[in-house]
Each structure stands twice: as structure tokens, then as C-alpha cells.
Amino acid sequence: MKQLYAHFHHQLEITGDVLDNLLLWAKSELIESKLQMDKVVLANIANNIALQLKNAMDDKDIQFTNNLNFHLIALADKLQVEIILRNLISN
């Protein structure tokens, strides 16, 4: 029972993160906000997204390997990068 609870709790956190990102993106589109340019480590973002999608990938027997260099830093809007990488990884 504890494992089932832990699984649902983890899935709920992931779903909440995805929903937060989508709402922030929608808000930025509605108010035409400027991009928030920051230094982002692409490998970290890819790992976080892969962790969020782990159960879905396991269900489909998909393996994800992140070969991005952790020294690779981009000047980008983190939210936009997360949305793009999430779409690429999930498809």
C-alpha cells in the first residue's frame, strides 16, 4: 500500500509540474511577456524532464540516455527550453 501511495504521490508531483509549466507558458502568451533569458544547463533540464516522464517511458519500455555535456550552458528562457525538451522527449 505504501508503494502504491508513493507512486501516486510521485505522479501527482510530476503532473503538477507539467501543469505549472503549461499555465506559465499560457500566461506568457496571453500577456505577451518578454522572454526571461538566463544561463541554463541543458543536461540538468533534460534529466529533470526524463525523471518526470520515467513512469511513462517505463510503461512503453523506452530507455532514455542523456548524452548532453553538463558543461553545456545556453542563454535561453528556461520555461521555453523545458517545454521544447519535454515535447521532444515525450514524443
Rg of the chain over all Cα atoms, to the nearest angstrom: 15
Q: Which residues of 2-22 are buried (b: 16+ CB within 10 A; e: fewer)?
A: eeeeeeeeeeeebeeebeebe
pLDDT band at 41 (very low <50, low <70, confident <90, very high): very high
> Is the pLDDT score of 43 beyond 80?
yes
> Is the pLDDT score of 9 beyond 90?
no
> Is the pLDDT score of 91 beyond 80?
no
- The pLDDT of 62-87, averaged and rounded, is 89
Q: What is the pTM of this model?
A: 0.65
pLDDT band at 62 (very low <50, low <70, confident <90, very high): confident
Q: CA-based diameter of the chain, in Å?
A: 46
Main-chain dihedrals φ then ψ at residue 65, nearest 5 degrees: -125, 125
